[in-house]
Chains A and B, each alone.
Chain A
Amino acid sequence: MKKLFLLVVLWSIMGCLKEVELQYDGDEQAKIVLHGTISPQKGVLLNISKSIPPQEKLDFDQVFLNNALAVLFQDGIPVDTLVNVNNSGDFELSQNISIVEGKEYRLVVSAFGFDAASVQLRIPDSLDGLSMSYQPDGSDKGIIQVSFEPTQNELFYAEVIGYDSLNLVRPIFLQESSNTIDCPASWFAHKYFFHEDCLHKNNPKIVALFNKETIQWEPRAIVLLHKIKLLISKIDPEYETIIDFSDNEEVGFSEPVVIESNVEGGYGYVLPINPSEAIVTF
């Protein structure tokens, strides 16, 4: 009887989840979507696809614009027409062209039935004096110290890759010790963003410290490493917003983000990077 009563109460307070018609008050047309990086190290890596308006369905055979025309301009002069390298919308430089730091580049992409999309960007300067060292403390523990000459009001993007004999690992920034950075900002996979004001208070050259013992390999088994590679590049702060949302959207707590894109006439984000590299071995 008690259960019956509770069931009645449960039924009455239960609502429902149902699909309703998506009524978007706009005339959204499909646009060109660009994603990729431009760097002196790897040249241009670009993916070209199209967006899907609210009432349309995605067709994987049609979504990538493999026949798009993508032209790269350097300081206003066309220097290359990118070539499609597979059926998944990936494009690369057709020639061996050097991407130079400090130069202005523009990518213009056009495809039949779409408005042209373009990206204007500048390759950032590389970091000066990047170094990384390992300081054993006499036990199994040790500190990995990373330093470079920081510049003011910059956002950095760091990719930290640890190697053991078999696997890549994901190191964790320390926060509890007084001689570590204050705010490592957000991490995304094994990549990190941090701001110049997160630098060490007493020694502004130190940008990150890792404790070997806390370097872990998922799922949480401690492994011994023999090498860590660090890539750091200055990046555009807007990009962090995109990554923040990507990191958080699955959590379900965040508010919708109005997409910030550096693609004029389309969507996506093409990131200019110029990573400096340092490697430390134990």
Chain B
Amino acid sequence: MQLNSFFYLIVCLVFATPQELRAQEVWKCSGQIVDAATKEPLVGANIYTEDLQFGTTTDEYGRYLIQVSSKYNKLIASYIGYKVDTCHNKYGSCYFELDVQELQEIVVSAEKKKVQKEIGQFSPSMKQIKRLPALLGDVDIVKAMVLLPGISGGVEGSSGMLVRGGDLSHNLILLDGTPVYNSNHLFGFMSSFNPEAVKHVELYKGGFPVQYGGRLASVLNITMKDGNMQKQSANLSIGLINSSVVTEGPILKNRISYLIAGRMLNLSPILSLGKKSSDEQYGYWLYDFNSKVKLKITPKQSLYLSYFQGDDSFHSKFQETDNRVKWGNKVASIRYNNQLANNVFVDMGAYYNKYAFGSKHEDLFQFSTYLFSTKSTISDLTGRVKVRWVLTPKFRSVIGGELSEKKFTPVEFETEELDSLGNVSASESVLEKIAVRSTTGFYENEWSPFSSLKIRAGIRASFYESKSLDFNDLEWRTSISYKKNNQTIKLAYDEMNQPFHLLTAVGSDSPNEIWIPGTTNVPSSHAQQVSLGYSKDIPNRKLRFSAEVYYKWMNNLVRYKPGSAYFFTQKGDWERNIIGKGIGEAKGFELFVNHYQGRLTGWLGYTLAWSNRKYTQTNHGNWFAANYDRRHDLELVLSYKISKKWNASGTFVWQSGRPLTLPSAFYLAPREPGGVVDRFKLVFDNINGSRTKNYHRLDLSFTRKYRTRRDREASWAFGAYNVYARNNPFSYVVAINDGEGVVSKPPRLILLQKSLFNIIPSINYRLKF
């Protein structure tokens, strides 16, 4: 099929109207599925007819819209871990309150009838995530995602996520619908999301719904708990190095609820061990804070207020030099939703978020003090609306739009020199702010001409306006899936644009992230992805199998110019220090086998992938492997219920080495033109031309649940990360060993491998009251 014909087909699907279907007699139903005890909406719950001819899932508010033929007289609601419920009310809404189900058999029957997740989409339950072994016992949502096929992590221990050959910045991470620009704590070793406050996690790596945009590789949608509408409760979690508390409850029973969650960690006592001299001091602390208020105005209308803040601060002092690095996010949002009719649902809101990264450097001299500070920020004020409606049992649509203003400060740089009296004797500053306004509209149709066939087509258009540049982006997305006898086959085509970019220096172990807007030299990055997937459920064996292949093409990618780095961007000429118009190619095969019920549950994931980049301005214009390209990636995740009280979990990860740039030679060079050749220079002639050692690791954990004397739920979790203490590579340093002045040891190139962790035991205590 020619490309033009293909787009013509998408256009027809996007703007199709289901005239022939409107005449049918239908049962229009809408409502909500909630936990009976807490009235907490259940995200991703299933609602379907008994013969599975019609079905859908609940959205992030636990709401659903469905139309079925009038021949049916009941709808069934199910959610993993809950009792199944039915509704016979053919003339109004069906509001389901599901009870927690302890009996395994009924849970199984609920799962058997589950409306299947789309291929390219994962939504592991928080229960599953919390059972996984975790670094220092601290459950991490992003690290759990990395255990799924098609997704790999950054360096050892990091909370970075690389999806289908994309970069770290190519993931749209949403907290209650609001983008979070930096999702990391502790130099990337912890994600910013408190698992105790999270209700639902959903990840898309293909087949993206049109309401999501602005990133190239994936969407991670994290939904916080709304808060218990019935009674006050709290969760306390105490780990080896950090602790968290979550409290929730009704402000007005069944009308207004709240949730407050906080975590903090102070590593300063550990970092100060053995440092008795006041000349050498180190400190590190971090915290995050979540809060949410839900107001149930009517059964069909709700209002949500959310706020999240997280900060990290690192401080080091060595003799007369004092360094401080601080970074953090602030996210505030207000959302209102209204179910206008049994087939129309409106969701609108506004949010403000800000990410700031800054550093301060202070040198104390005998007669003066030199101060150097940098800051880089991105902030975003956005208003948006989304309308979903179901026109017929076989046709549903989504339409919406966003108005947004983003403010970038890639460079805020200040130096001051103070004399011995504290007077400023010299100062210098550079501040650059760039505002980008955008208008986005999206529209998507989903059509099921037969119960086994589903076609989805959508369009997303964005217009950007800034002082220096106006541009627009258009994205087409479509998918077709066919399901028969527990087997599904799906073909998807997605276009994604990213109008702003993240610069990170690969050679650094420290945070150095700078968000920059699209400019004339570095316009929006663009990606096109085609994916084909097959999945099969084998209910009698409680197995689900899926396999996917994908091919992705990216252009207008951005990176630092060779030799440039964060410090150069501080001189007010950041645009001169980057190169754009890079192209990228990613392709791969993903396999996923999930045993989802029984005493032994878990999955096996395997990914075979390639991801390459090409820039005319570097590597002699040749292709090179992307920074985290890994050929093979295998994950085995198992959880075994030993008894009513005890549970064991294990994770094994094996990955091929990641790319590494090694020098091909070194030589003597002058410090300046015409100067004496007295310094060594390394020759790098092939970016990422070598590979690190393979990575593998085994983690184990054991959890004991019990009830306290006061009949409260409590658990102890004991675990170990990297059980067999493998020294996996974290980073490499190429150095020239000059023999430390020993003439008998002539200079030569050496490679030093830095490994972060030995075996790390962990212990965690959780109490619910």
Interface string of B718-759 (1 = CB under 8 A from A): 000000000100100110000000000011111111111111
B677 touches A54 (CB 8 A): no
Give the distance in Å from the alpha carbon of A20 to the alpha carbon of B751 in the complex. 6
Enumerate the 10 nearest inter-chain pairs by beta-carbon distance, A residue then B residue, closest first.
A245-B563, A253-B565, A254-B565, A15-B755, A15-B756, A257-B562, A256-B684, A51-B667, A58-B747, A22-B751
Give the distance in Å from the alpha carbon of A275 to the alpha carbon of B563 in the complex. 26
User: Which of A10, A35, A53, A273: most chain B Cβ within 10 A?
Assistant: A35
**Docked complex: A239-271 residues within 8 A CB-CB of B:** 239, 241-242, 244-246, 248-249, 251-260, 267-268, 271
Give the distance in Å from the alpha carbon of A35 to the alpha carbon of B678 in the complex. 12
A13 touches B690 (CB 8 A): no
Interface string of B689-700 (1 = CB under 8 A from A): 110010000000
B241 touches A189 (CB 8 A): no
Contact partners of A245 in chain B: CB under 8 A: 562-563
Q: Of A26-34, A106-114, A118-126, which stretch is located at the interface?
A: A26-34
Number of interface residues, chain A, beta carbon within 8 A:
84
Contact partners of B427 in chain A: CB under 8 A: 176
Nearest CB on B from A246, distance (A): 7
Residue of A nearest to B675 (CB): A35
* CB<8 Å pairs between A and B, sample of 8: A9-B270, A45-B674, A54-B662, A241-B563, A244-B561, A253-B567, A255-B564, A258-B687
Check: B365 CB closer than 8 A to any chain A CB: yes
B687 touches A52 (CB 8 A): no
Check: A182 CB closer than 8 A to any chain B CB: yes
B760 touches A54 (CB 8 A): no
Contact partners of A157 in chain B: CB under 8 A: 673
Q: A58-B666, A88-B677 are in contact. List 17 more A-B contacts (CB 8 A).
A: A13-B757, A15-B727, A18-B753, A22-B751, A25-B689, A33-B667, A51-B665, A57-B747, A176-B427, A183-B573, A241-B563, A252-B508, A254-B565, A255-B507, A256-B507, A256-B661, A259-B685
Check: B663 CB closer than 8 A to any chain A CB: yes
Nearest CB on B from A163, distance (A): 19
Contact partners of B273 in chain A: CB under 8 A: 3, 6-7, 10
Residue of A nearest to B426 (CB): A214
Contact partners of A22 in chain B: CB under 8 A: 662, 734, 749-751
Give the distance in Å from the alpha carbon of A189 to the alpha carbon of B677 in the complex. 16
**Docked complex: A72-102 residues within 8 A CB-CB of B:** 88-89
**Docked complex: A113-142 residues within 8 A CB-CB of B:** none
Contact partners of B663 in chain A: CB under 8 A: 24, 54, 256
Check: A188 CB closer than 8 A to any chain B CB: yes
Contact partners of B417 in chain A: CB under 8 A: 220
Residue of A nearest to B758 (CB): A12
Check: A191 CB closer than 8 A to any chain B CB: yes
**Docked complex: B391-427 residues within 8 A CB-CB of A:** 417, 426-427
A219 touches B365 (CB 8 A): yes
Check: A179 CB closer than 8 A to any chain B CB: no
Contact partners of A258 in chain B: CB under 8 A: 562, 618-620, 684-687
A259 touches B683 (CB 8 A): yes
Residue of B nearest to A244 (CB): B563
A54 touches B665 (CB 8 A): yes
Check: A23 CB closer than 8 A to any chain B CB: yes
Q: Known contacts A9-B241, A22-B751; decide if A49 and B568 are in contact (CB<8 Å).
A: no
Check: B435 CB closer than 8 A to any chain A CB: no
Residue of B nearest to A245 (CB): B563
* Residue from B507, B571, B750, B753 within 8 A of A254 (CB atoms): B507
Nearest CB on A from B168, distance (A): 15
A185 touches B428 (CB 8 A): no
Check: B512 CB closer than 8 A to any chain A CB: yes
B758 touches A267 (CB 8 A): no
A19 touches B563 (CB 8 A): no
Check: B505 CB closer than 8 A to any chain A CB: yes
**Docked complex: B239-254 residues within 8 A CB-CB of A:** 240-241
Check: B482 CB closer than 8 A to any chain A CB: no
B751 touches A255 (CB 8 A): no
Contact partners of A260 in chain B: CB under 8 A: 562
B747 touches A33 (CB 8 A): no
Between A and B, how many residue pairs show CB distances below 8 Å? Answer: 231
Check: B668 CB closer than 8 A to any chain A CB: yes
Residue of A nearest to B572 (CB): A183
Nearest CB on B from A89, distance (A): 7
Contact partners of B662 in chain A: CB under 8 A: 22-24, 54
Give the distance in Å from the alpha carbon of A54 to the alpha carbon of B747 in the complex. 11
User: Which of B572, B665, B677: most chain A Cβ within 10 A?
Assistant: B665
Q: Known contacts A18-B753, A51-B665; decide if A11 and B568 are in contact (CB<8 Å).
A: no
Check: A175 CB closer than 8 A to any chain B CB: yes
Give the distance in Å from the alpha carbon of A51 to the alpha carbon of B367 in the complex. 45
**Docked complex: A47-62 residues within 8 A CB-CB of B:** 47, 49-54, 56-60
B665 touches A248 (CB 8 A): no
Nearest CB on B from A118, distance (A): 17
Check: B158 CB closer than 8 A to any chain A CB: no
Give the distance in Å from the alpha carbon of A22 to the alpha carbon of B666 in the complex. 13
Q: Known contacts A7-B273, A248-B567; decide if A257 and B684 are in contact (CB<8 Å).
A: yes
Check: B80 CB closer than 8 A to any chain A CB: no
B687 touches A256 (CB 8 A): yes
Contact partners of B368 in chain A: CB under 8 A: 220
Nearest CB on A from B664, distance (A): 4
Check: A67 CB closer than 8 A to any chain B CB: no
A6 touches B749 (CB 8 A): no
Nearest CB on B from A5, distance (A): 9
A253 touches B666 (CB 8 A): no
User: Which of B562, B571, B733: most chain A Cβ within 10 A?
Assistant: B562
Contact partners of B567 in chain A: CB under 8 A: 248, 251, 253
B240 touches A248 (CB 8 A): no
Contact partners of A25 in chain B: CB under 8 A: 689-690
Contact partners of A220 in chain B: CB under 8 A: 365, 367-368, 370, 417
Give the distance in Å from the alpha carbon of A5 to the alpha carbon of B670 in the complex. 51
Nearest CB on B from A141, distance (A): 12
Check: B430 CB closer than 8 A to any chain A CB: yes
Check: A37 CB closer than 8 A to any chain B CB: yes
Check: B682 CB closer than 8 A to any chain A CB: yes
Contact partners of A176 in chain B: CB under 8 A: 427-429
Check: A16 CB closer than 8 A to any chain B CB: yes
A35 touches B670 (CB 8 A): yes
Nearest CB on A from B727, distance (A): 6
Check: A17 CB closer than 8 A to any chain B CB: yes
Contact partners of A58 in chain B: CB under 8 A: 666, 668, 746-748
**Docked complex: A145-173 residues within 8 A CB-CB of B:** 157, 172
A191 touches B677 (CB 8 A): no
B568 touches A17 (CB 8 A): no
B270 touches A6 (CB 8 A): yes
Interface string of B447-470 (1 = CB under 8 A from A): 000000000000000000000000
Interface string of B503-523 (1 = CB under 8 A from A): 001111010100000000000
**Docked complex: B359-387 residues within 8 A CB-CB of A:** 365, 367-368, 370
B667 touches A26 (CB 8 A): no
A11 touches B758 (CB 8 A): yes
Check: B560 CB closer than 8 A to any chain A CB: yes
Give the distance in Å from the alpha carbon of A28 to the alpha carbon of B368 in the complex. 50
Check: B20 CB closer than 8 A to any chain A CB: no
